[in-house]
Amino acid sequence: MSSVSAPSPTNQPSETTSHISSYPKFIGRSLWLATEGSLGFYAWMTMLTALFLVGANAWANQVAGGMIGTNMTDQVSWGLYIANFTFMVGLAAGGVMMVIPAYLYHDRKMHDVVIIGELLAIAAIVMCLMFVVADLGRPDRFWHLLPGIGKFNFPISMLTWDVIVLNGYLLLNLHICGYLLYMRFLGRKPNPVWYIPFVMVSIVWAISIHTVTAFLYCGLGGRPFWNTALLAPRFLASAFVSGPAFIIVAMVLIKRLAGVGGLDQPIATLTKIIRVTILVNLLMVASELFTEFYTGGSHVSAAKYLFFGLHGKTALVPWTWTAIGLNVTAALLFLWPGLLQFRWRPLLVAACCMAFVGAWIEKGMGLIIPGFVPSTLHEIVEYVPSQLEWKVTVGIWAFGLMIFTIAIKTALPTLKHPAEH
Amino acid sequence: MARSINLIFVGTVLVVVSMVGVVIARQSTFKASPNTQQASDNASSSDAHSAGGETTSFPVVIHQPDGPPRVKLAGLDPQGRTGEVACSTCHAVRQPNFENKTTETLDEFHQGLVVAHGNLSCYSCHNPDGSDTLRQADGTKIEYQDVMTLCSQCHGPQATAYAHGAHGGMNGHWDLSRGPQVKNNCVDCHDPHSPAYPKMVVGFKPKDRFNTPVENAGH
Amino acid sequence: MTDKPSLPVVENFSRRAAVKGAFATLGAGAFVAAVSPLRQAAKNSSAAEFMQTHYTELSPEQKADVISRLEAEAKEKYDADVTIADDRPIAGTKFVYAINLSVCNGNGKCVEACHKENNHDRDTNQSYIRVLEMPKGTMDMEKGSTTYSGAVPKDDKFYLPVQCQQCDEPPCVDVCPVKATWKEEDGIVVVDYNWCIGCRYCEAACPYHARRFNWKKPEVPADEVNPNQSYLSNRIRPVGVVEKCTYCLHRTRRGQLPACLEACPTGARVFGNILDPNSNIRWILENKRVYILKEELGTKPAFFYYFD
């Protein structure tokens, strides 16, 4: 065990000291560490707090006044919240693209920083749960969803599966990260028995969270736009674009702001992963579009609405072409071998941002909304998020970034001075 | 490595098994639910009301005209009164003119009456030998109250549908063991002289947000 | 971040801790202020409502309590004296609806009757029925319009009223995560408005646009409230929950006809018990060429359309 991180001797319980006293100390120290930082850090956290408060206030107003404050309707009954939820599940699953090289292929460098992916999963899942709660008409009845005291329609309802897999994934990652950081705090070598099996389960689990989320939509026969077997693979492919893209940007920032070394090789690995997944994703989108447009008929109306507008209604057209533009540009940039060169770092970050935003639109506004337009009675009711919805969404994003920032700060000693294996 | 592959394999198997489980559970709940629920809690309402119509106790009431129509006088009578008279007031003393096939040839009374009922002429339905009654195609007299029998001579399919509740509408109870049913008469909805159902104006529309009429729609 | 020691100096410690504590308190205070509108929402729902269990798990005494509480709420919030019954299915019945599309002229009286009977929000003219104006010669709903107006029927159109089809394989019931909606033994798919969490998954799953969400508190003037109510049917719904057509079970489970049928001036609507071999509905199924909407989805509707 390296001693560079210098855990103070008081933190190191002898074999006889119980965890009951050392665990609160660990939590306390983590909190303390997480709230230490430069002026820039405080400014960043203050801004996130402010945005979060705006969102919290907007949500409270939504609960008090009814969801009439959103622009959702009986025709388009899910909007920005569920769009973001879907995307965030992907982001959470995307973290596994670090875990697989680190644990299955024993990529040492990746292993040293794999906790970034796991922490991202935690933050993303928390955001998912917040988006779901924001979307509920009766958040006060949330307890009806709890197995045991509520009435849990398992296994028939895919939503109950989602509740299980999302919370399970959250617990898995909390356990893995918590255990590793705690052992680090104690200055002990983590015992593989206590985390390797969980890591292996979390790999399968990451696939499952996004598959189940896709099954939420693709199991609905009344919504032809979603009713495709390609949905789950597409979700996974785009998740493995957006997740690594976010992590690359995060790593570039962590390197610059916190001076963490050893990130270049993981960045290269993730770039290579995106290079493949972004093409797979585009291929599946293209194949979906071919099937829709070449076949024609009334199944194509949602896709027509999405790409060209229907009966003069074109609210989604700019969104979807932006997404296509971003995705294709990002894909071309990733294909270029020079992107990995150090001097092109800003371009890599730009490509990641494009891929990230592209996936966000494609899976959110470009997937959830056209499922409802035209409606099941072929009414064309358009949806543009209301100001309230934007506020709540920004608030949740701010909160998620807050969690991620704090989590990364907590893990910084580990990242800076990786343990020996 | 091998261990992790095994773990992934086990995970996949579990997912597949659970998916099969969902499908089976989904099937079985549908088969099971009617029986399980039936047993539960409708003992109170299950008593006498069997579905079979054997316990029918309430009638099906069909609207009927009060009697022969009354004709409004166009002007004042010799005593200066307005009023309505029975058909027979005039027709008892006038000979029927079988040459009047349409309203165009009427020159004294009933001008302006619009008749658009196939090729029927007045005495197809009205009785020349008893103007306060109607007559059927075979010449038998029939009272105004029983006009539906007259209509049914030609409109057999509608009469059949009507008899089975598939035409004409109703009010009251579907379950005659719990209450009566009131049904319309043909002439409640169809003017016998111009039986085509009139056009109506849509008076009530739900106001769905963001769903304004797209007048055009190309089709 | 510079490379300072991971634990700060002790003198510094208490001061920094105090500052951090102050900011944390400030943040918590700001958060409480931000979510203060929730207090308003909390006022609108009672603890009893919050604690209420699922309809199927209520004992008869609990049910009586719930119903008297709901009646008192109707008085308090809508100033209306209402009677809320708990109508259960009649044994040996399965309700089925049929509409004669040759006769329906799209006048919309059924839509209005539904609106009034079921205590829908007056602002939005809400109703469980939507009527599609369709060009003759197609069954493709894409060519239809729900927003038509003026004199009907138009010569080149026919009219297709759509409401809940009370499917035998209801996708909306499958997807509900909390079993707030289920199919009863007379075929009616009902919602426990006091159990629904408002996730609207059922709205996404329904292929017939049969479900409505209460985006706001329904507004009904006291003198327009239909006082003749049922727990699973037309009682005034709370905000934030999903609702749907119940074939007017507060009427039909008492032997009466649904409000939309009684209101239909053209007699296009037929309602009855499919288990009764002498029923009107059986005669139609046996003698008319009937079809169902979106048959390919396998939802098995208890709602038939036919032409003369």
**B29 contact residues in A (CB cutoff 8 A):** 156
Which residue is closest to C284 within chain B, CA to CA? B166
Of B18, B208, B209, the CB nearest to A155: B18
Q: What is the pLDDT of residue A416?
A: 87
Interface of A with C in 164-223 (CB under 8 A): 216-217, 219-223
Which of C231, C266, C290 to mutate against chain B (most B CBs within 10 Å)? C266
Provide the terminal-to-terminal Cα distance of chain A, rounded to the nearest Å.
9
* Residue pairs spanning B and C at CB distance below 8 A: 166
**Taking Cα atoms as reference points, which of A285, A61, A55, A114 lies closest to residue C39?**
A61
CA distance B106 to B99: 10
Interface of C with A in 102-121 (CB under 8 A): none
Q: Provide the Cα torsion A313, A316, A321, A327; round to 10°.
A: -160
Q: Which of the four pLDDT bands, split at 50, 70 and 90, describes residue B71?
A: confident
Q: Are strands B200-201 and C151-152 parallel, antiparallel or unpaired?
A: antiparallel
pLDDT digits (tens, 9 = 90+) for A137-178: 999 999 999 988 899 999 999 999 999 999 999 999 999 999
Cis check: omega of the bond before C153, within 30 degrees of 0: yes
Tell whether A323 is covered by a domain: yes
The DSSP symbol for B109 reads S
CA distance A389 to A401: 18
Look at residue B36 and tell me whether its pLDDT is greater than 50: no
Which residue is closest to C305 within chain B, CA to CA? B166
Tell whether B131 is covered by a domain: yes
- Could you tell me what percent of chain A has a pLDDT over 70? 95
CB contact under 8 A, B205 and C261: no
Which residue is closest to B7 within chain A, CA to CA? A200
Element (H, E) at A213: helix A192-218
Q: What is the pLDDT of residue B107?
A: 81
Tell whether A5 is covered by a domain: no
CA distance C299 to A302: 22
- Of B98-107, B123-132, C199-208, the one with minimum mean pLDDT is B98-107
Q: What is the 3-state secondary structure (H, E, C) of A338-402?
A: HHHCHHHHHHHHHHHHHHHHHHHHHHCCCCCCCCCCCCCCCCCCCCCCCHHHHHHHHHHHHHHHH
CA distance A106 to chain B (A): 9
**Taking Cα atoms as reference points, which of B210, C92, C124 lies closest to residue A72?**
B210
Mean pLDDT of all residues in A365-389: 95
Tell whether A10 is covered by a domain: no
Q: What is the pLDDT of residue B66?
A: 87
Q: What is the pLDDT of residue B27?
A: 62
Look at residue B47 and tell me whether its pLDDT is greater than 90: no
CB contact under 8 A, B174 and C255: yes
CATH of the domain at A354: 1.20.1630.10
Tell whether A103 is covered by a domain: yes
Q: What is the 3-state secondary structure (H, E, C) of A14-65?
A: CCCCCHHHHHHHHHHHHHHHHCCCCHHHHHHHHHHHHHHHHHHHHHHHHHHH
Tell whether C53 is covered by a domain: no
CB contact under 8 A, C284 and B164: yes
Q: What is the pLDDT of residue B48?
A: 39
- Amino acid found at C181: T
Q: What is the pLDDT of residue B104?
A: 84
**At a CB cut-off of 8 Å and minimum separation 6, what does B43 contact?**
none
pLDDT digits (tens, 9 = 90+) for A99-145: 999 999 999 999 989 999 999 999 999 999 999 999 999 999 999 99
- Under 8 Å between Cβ of C190 and C54: no
Mean pLDDT of all residues in A265-274: 95
CB contact under 8 A, A221 and C208: no
Mean pLDDT of all residues in A318-342: 95
**Taking Cα atoms as reference points, which of A392, A396, A398 lies closest to residue A67?**
A392
Q: What is the pLDDT of residue B28?
A: 57
**Residue A391 belongs to what domain range?**
22-416
Q: Which of the four pLDDT bands, split at 50, 70 and 90, describes residue A214?
A: very high
Q: What is the pLDDT of residue B15?
A: 74
> How many other CB atoms are there within 10 angstroms of residue C240's CB atom?
27
Of A73, A197, A204, the CB nearest to B209: A73
CB contact under 8 A, C178 and A150: yes
Chain center to CA of A273: 17
> How many other CB atoms are there within 10 angstroms of residue C223's CB atom?
7
Which residue is closest to B26 within chain C, CA to CA? C174
DSSP-based three-state secondary structure for A185:
helix
Does residue C248 share a domain with residue C135?
yes
Element (H, E) at A332: helix A317-335
Tell whether B48 is covered by a domain: no
Q: What is the pLDDT of residue A299?
A: 83
CB contact under 8 A, C196 and A377: no
Tell whether C74 is covered by a domain: no
* Residue pairs spanning A and B at CB distance below 8 A: 50
CB contact under 8 A, A155 and B22: yes
Could you tell me which residue, B184 or B111, shows the higher pLDDT? B184
**Residue C258 belongs to what domain range?**
87-308
DSSP-based three-state secondary structure for A304:
helix
CA distance A407 to B9: 32
Low-confidence ranges of chain C (pLDDT < 70): 1-11
CA distance A108 to A8: 27
Look at residue B8 and tell me whether its pLDDT is greater than 90: no
Cα dist from A393 to A128, A388, A400, whole Å: 11, 9, 11
How many structural domains are present in chain C? 2
For chain A, the chains sharing at least 3 beta-carbon pairs closer than 8 angstroms are: B, C
Which residue is closest to A155 within chain B, CA to CA? B22
Which of C20, C26, C38 to mutate against chain A (most A CBs within 10 Å)? C38
CB contact under 8 A, B214 and A204: no
Q: What is the pLDDT of residue B32?
A: 44
Tell whether B26 is covered by a domain: no
CB contact under 8 A, B166 and C284: yes
How many structural domains are present in chain B? 1
CA distance A329 to chain B (A): 35
CA distance B130 to B133: 6
- Under 8 Å between Cβ of A211 and A236: yes
Look at residue B52 and tell me whether its pLDDT is greater than 70: no
Residue B79 touches partner A, C-beta closer than 8 Å: no
CB contact under 8 A, A200 and B210: no
**Taking Cα atoms as reference points, which of C167, C154, C141, C166 lies closest to residue C104?**
C154
Cα dist from A106 to A101, A181, C54, whole Å: 6, 20, 51
How many structural domains are present in chain A? 1
CA distance A200 to chain B (A): 7
CA distance B14 to chain C (A): 22
Which residue is closest to C33 within chain A, CA to CA? A57
Residue C115 touches partner B, C-beta closer than 8 Å: yes
CA distance A185 to A187: 5
Instruction: Report the b/e string of B3-29 with b at 16+ CB within 10 A.
Output: ebeebbeebeeeeeeeeeebeeeeeee
CA distance A96 to chain B (A): 14
Which sign does the torsion angle of CA A142, C211, C292, B183 carry?
positive
CATH of the domain at C175: 3.30.70.20
**Residue B162 belongs to what domain range?**
60-189
**Taking Cα atoms as reference points, which of C258, C248, C252, C219 lies closest to residue C120?**
C219
Look at residue B219 and tell me whether its pLDDT is greater than 50: no
DSSP characters for chain C?
A: -----SS--HHHHHHHHHHHHHHHHHHHHHHHHHTTHHHHHHHTS-HHHHH---GGG--HHHHHHHHHHHHHHHHHHH----EEE-PPPPTT--EEEEEETTT-----HHHHHHHHHTT--TTTT--S-EEEEEETT---GGG-BS---SEE--TTEEEEEE-----SS-HHHHH-TT--EEE-TTS-EEE-TTT-----HHHHH-TT--EEE-SSPPP--GGG---EEETTTTSPPPTT-EEE--S-HHHHTTTBPPHHHHH-TT--EEEEETT-TTSHHHHHHHHS-EE-TTGGG----SEEEE--
Mean pLDDT of all residues in B90-95: 88
Of C34, C176, C180, the CB nearest to A56: C34
Tell whether B49 is covered by a domain: no
**Taking Cα atoms as reference points, which of B160, B150, B148, B149 lies closest to residue B123?**
B150
CA distance B37 to A360: 45
- Could you tell me what percent of chain A has a pLDDT over 90? 82
Tell whether C128 is covered by a domain: yes
CB contact under 8 A, A35 and C294: no
Interface of C with A in 59-98 (CB under 8 A): none
CA distance C75 to C25: 43
- Could you tell me what percent of chain B has a pLDDT over 70? 79
Token pair in block for residue C189: 């798919």
Token pair in block for residue B175: 């379950």
Q: Which of the four pLDDT bands, split at 50, 70 and 90, describes residue B50?
A: very low
**B171 contact residues in C (CB cutoff 8 A):** 257, 262
Of C207, C217, C240, the CB nearest to A222: C207
| Mean pLDDT taken over chain A | 92
CB contact under 8 A, C145 and B30: no
DSSP characters for C134-200?
A: EETT---GGG-BS---SEE--TTEEEEEE-----SS-HHHHH-TT--EEE-TTS-EEE-TTT-----
Does residue C279 share a domain with residue C145?
yes
Q: What is the pLDDT of residue B51?
A: 44
Q: What is the pLDDT of residue C254?
A: 96
CA distance B101 to chain A (A): 49
- Of A251-255, A303-307, B209-213, C33-37, the one with minimum mean pLDDT is B209-213
CB contact under 8 A, A204 and B211: no
Tell whether C260 is covered by a domain: yes
Element (H, E) at B135: strand B134-135
Interface of A with C in 357-376 (CB under 8 A): 371-372, 374-376
pLDDT digits (tens, 9 = 90+) for B10-22: 777 777 777 777 7
Instruction: Report the b/e string of A268-299 with b at 16+ CB within 10 A.
Output: ebbbebbbebbebbbebbeebeeebeeeeeee
pLDDT digits (tens, 9 = 90+) for A284-325: 999 999 999 999 887 899 999 999 999 999 999 999 999 999
CA distance B188 to chain A (A): 34
φ/ψ of A194, rounded to 5, equals -85, -10
Tell whether C165 is covered by a domain: yes
Residue C211 touches partner A, C-beta closer than 8 Å: yes
**B15 contact residues in A (CB cutoff 8 A):** 204, 208
Of A197, A205, A311, the CB nearest to B214: A311
